[in-house]
Structure 1
Amino acid sequence: MPSVNPPRGMRDFLPADKARRERVLAVIRQRYRAHGFDEIETPVMEDYGRLHAGIGGDNEKLAYNVLRRGLDADAIRAAAEDPAALTDLGLRYDLTVPLARFYASHRGELPGVFRSIQIAPVWRAERPQKGRYRQFMQCDIDIIGDGSARAEAELAVATLDTLDALGLEGGGIRINDRRLLDWMLEHFGFGADERPGVLITIDKLDKIGPDGVGAELRERGAAATAVDAFEAFLRRPQTLEFVPFGERQIRKALPEGAPDEVVAHLVGIGAAVAAARSHETEFGGVPLVFDPFLVRGMGYYTGTIFELSHPSVSYSLGGGGRYDGMIGRFLGQDVPAVGFSIGFERIVDLVEQGEDAAAEAVVVVHERDVPVAELAAHKARLVAAGGRVRLETRTKNLKALLERARADGYTAFATVAAGQTDLETKPLG
């Protein structure tokens, strides 16, 4: 017999779980729209060549590909060593690649600066484990057509505002710039060809520390003088004073001589976020922290990168960055673009349970002999009053029935007998 379980790494959601997820999604959508973003929808599948064009980083290796139609056994054997000959479509592994294709296709119908919302499932052939799924929801906001600090600031403010609206106040954003990372590695003496591997190791700094990073870089065969210079920088004497986000904090965290243009861009983001979040005090007025070793793994990032943090958890709750070169792959000319994605599957577990906004969610428990027409009339009146209504036939174990209804989000109940004209609702306490 086939298994009745969902595929590994994918999940079913019971009604209460689904309702909770939809409540969280409704808040996210509402806050994003309040900040001037408009929701779009793209197909769950894209062309194989687009998904494997070298712009999706390591996620391209995790793509689910769709077998071409009409291939017989001989054709499959002949093309066994060439995935592109076997497949022509694939399930999207993120929402950024489809957005780039969408913008290239509809540019003439969109405003000069386009602010998009995408909330949809994506699929990756991950190794299933706790907190890592093969199908999961992404909640993205992106700004296309604006290369200024305003775009990053808008994304940061909208994201922090959304976190607040979900009851997760006190969030912050770690921020860096890929151009600073590249400049820093060049400053230490790492060659251009070895920098991608060096970044993979630097990304582990929080986990393995300076000694571990140095040892791994040497194992990778990185230039010894560059590793020495990098280790010396990590171990440099530093004061423990608190430096709020701004030019001083950024330059204090970098070797001398950092590019003025990039530093000024980050400072501009901080000034705009500070103005919008003037009520924030925990981070000295700016809920941003410059992290010179924030890497983020996506190969398409070209500038600012950021990660969303919250004091209640040690892991990131989202992230994003600037990817100015991606859309140009489709248009033949560069278009500035930057995006931020909330980690929905992580956030939904942190949000406290809430109730639907309807006046009442009522389960109507009726005797078996109540005519269907009477039940329909009772239900229609409750629904017209703004309630949510479920009809249930009375069972011997009424307590179990009501407990099940309460678990499904119902807040009140009423009992009905044949010929009864009025309903008295009571709370499910």
Structure 2
Amino acid sequence: MRDFLPEDKARRERVLAVIRDRYRAHGFDEIETPVMEEYSRLHAGIGGDNEKLAYNVLKRGLDADAIAAAAGDPSQLTDLGLRYDLTVPLARFYATHRGQLPSVFRSIQIAPVWRAERPQKGRYRQFVQCDIDIIGDASSRAEAELIVATLDTLDALGLAGGSVRINDRRVLDWMLDSFGFDAAERPGVLITIDKLDKIGPAGVAAELRERGAAAQSVDAFESFLTRPMTMEYHPFGERQIRKLLPDAAPTDIVDHLVGIGEAVAASRPGIDGQPTEVPLVFDPFLVRGMGYYTGTIFELAHPSVDYSLGGGGRYDGMIGRFLGQDVPAAGFSIGFERIVDLVAAAQDDAPQAVVLVHDRDIPAGELLAHKAALVGGGARVRLETRTKNLKALLERAAADGYTAFATVSTGIPAGEVDLKPLA
């Protein structure tokens, strides 16, 4: 968990303002949910490893006997917990307020979440997530809308050139079945496949054998991984998807993926009649570990970094746990903490940022009159008492984003100070 100095906080707010603006431009509406949810919801077996990282809140009024009687069972000691993501709270929110929401609900959630991570670079125990979700639309249009809005937001942040790796959890299940992996061993197999980018096909095959996976299945999978076309980059489309998958891939799943690609392509008209390459890459080995994904999954990539900048997918079964009937849902989350570090620092949006340097004996009324006149004109204004080292004072102001200064003497009419640029 971190503190943020004014300059860092200002940059974060600028980035958040752009994200909110682009999300709203695409028809999403912002909601807010409590930072705590019921323990039973956060530990319903749908949050994957994140459930193990949840901060749980002890029940009020517990005594030593009650704690001893729990015998280390957290569910007996806690009834609430800090949210570890924004998707579980959204599912509960929709189940609670469904009657007041449109049949297809497009939501924005931008808020902190908490996970008991081990301290290490890039892993924070409190961090901001920026989510957009579409609830009530089972068609490929939902995923396409999420992808288009996310890529537009990345462009608006000055990070053009982003792309989305896309897969489907049903493709993974079908592929593992086609190679003969038993259902009981698939969770471990998926964990290993998720390391493909780091350890390569040979490393994946070796680790699967170490895990005790069926030898015949591992041999078939290794042969598939080492095909020339398997690990090559391919533009997104039906022919490429079928080329990358083993024979007889499920037609309905492929059609859903193709529909996403066609919709995204239609949103990006070419120049002078030339088609624009769709910023999608089919990756049959994309896993994403959240237990609630039921269909399409995707991750946001950018050529400037070798890690993902966000991800999401379809989670049609989650809301039904709270509502009693399944409702189609899909979401995309931008990794705000990663993106904010990539966005170049910019000056404040105000036309001017002014420091008014004054002696100690200037009446407060005169100072505030000068300040009010400049603020009324759209400037950002800071009052600073003159020091012996004026140069150091002005250098600090410039570092804080101020662009001009003026020295204030008594008797000057409000707003008529002589502004000078800060070098």
List aligned pairs for 1:4-403, cutoff 5 A: 10-238=1-229, 243-279=234-270, 285-403=277-395
Q: Which amino acid aligns with 1:236?
A: R
Hey, what's the Cα distance between the residues in 1 that align with 2:230 and 2:68?
64
Kept in 1, the 8 Å contact 2:268–2:276? The answer is: no
Kept in 1, the 8 Å contact 2:230–2:244? The answer is: no
Kept in 2, the 8 Å contact 1:80–1:86? The answer is: no
Cα deviation digits, residues 223-273 of structure 1 (max 9, x gap): 111111101111124399874210011111110100000001010100110
Hey, what's the Cα distance between the residues in 2 that align with 1:176 and 1:205?
15
1:308 to 1:228, Cα distance in 2 relative to 1, 3 A: same
Cα deviation digits, residues 67-111 of structure 1 (max 9, x gap): 111112222222241111111110000000000000000000000
Hey, what's the Cα distance between the residues in 2 that align with 1:310 and 1:105?
37
Hey, what's the Cα distance between the residues in 1 that align with 2:99 and 2:388?
64
1:293 to 1:109, Cα distance in 2 relative to 1, 3 A: same
1:89 alignment partner, SS class: strand
Hey, what's the Cα distance between the residues in 2 that align with 1:204 and 1:283?
34
Shift of residue 284, structure 1, vs aligned partner: 5.3
1:200 alignment partner, SS class: helix
Q: Which residue of 1 aligns with 2:417?
A: 423
Shift of residue 395, structure 1, vs aligned partner: 0.6
What's the TM-score, normalizing by structure 2? 0.97
Hey, what's the Cα distance between the residues in 2 that align with 1:266 and 1:179?
11
Hey, what's the Cα distance between the residues in 1 that align with 2:231 and 2:203?
23
1:157 to 1:318, Cα distance in 2 relative to 1, 3 A: same
Q: Across the two proteins, how many residue pairs are aligned to each other?
A: 420
1:390 to 1:80, Cα distance in 2 relative to 1, 3 A: farther
Q: Which amino acid aligns with 1:391?
A: L
Hey, what's the Cα distance between the residues in 2 that align with 1:237 and 1:127?
39
Q: Which amino acid aligns with 1:82?
A: D
2:407 alignment partner, SS class: strand
Hey, what's the Cα distance between the residues in 2 that align with 1:293 and 1:380?
59
Q: Which amino acid aligns with 1:425?
A: L
Q: Which amino acid aligns with 1:156?
A: I
Kept in 1, the 8 Å contact 2:117–2:124? The answer is: yes
1:133 to 1:27, Cα distance in 2 relative to 1, 3 A: same
Cα deviation digits, residues 374-406 of structure 1 (max 9, x gap): 011111111111111111101111111111112
What's the TM-score, normalizing by structure 1? 0.95
Shift of residue 179, structure 1, vs aligned partner: 0.5
CA RMSD of aligned residues (A): 1.6
Hey, what's the Cα distance between the residues in 2 that align with 1:283 and 1:21?
36
Shift of residue 134, structure 1, vs aligned partner: 0.4
Kept in 2, the 8 Å contact 1:370–1:419? The answer is: no
Q: Which amino acid aligns with 1:323?
A: Y
Hey, what's the Cα distance between the residues in 2 that align with 1:359 and 1:236?
58
Hey, what's the Cα distance between the residues in 2 that align with 1:180 and 1:284?
27
2:248 alignment partner, SS class: coil
1:124 to 1:376, Cα distance in 2 relative to 1, 3 A: same
Unaligned runs of at least 5 residues, structure 1: 1-9
Percent identical: 81
Cα deviation digits, residues 12-41 of structure 1 (max 9, x gap): 000010000000000000000000000000
Shift of residue 370, structure 1, vs aligned partner: 0.4
Hey, what's the Cα distance between the residues in 1 that align with 2:305 and 2:275?
17
Q: Which amino acid aligns with 2:80?
A: L
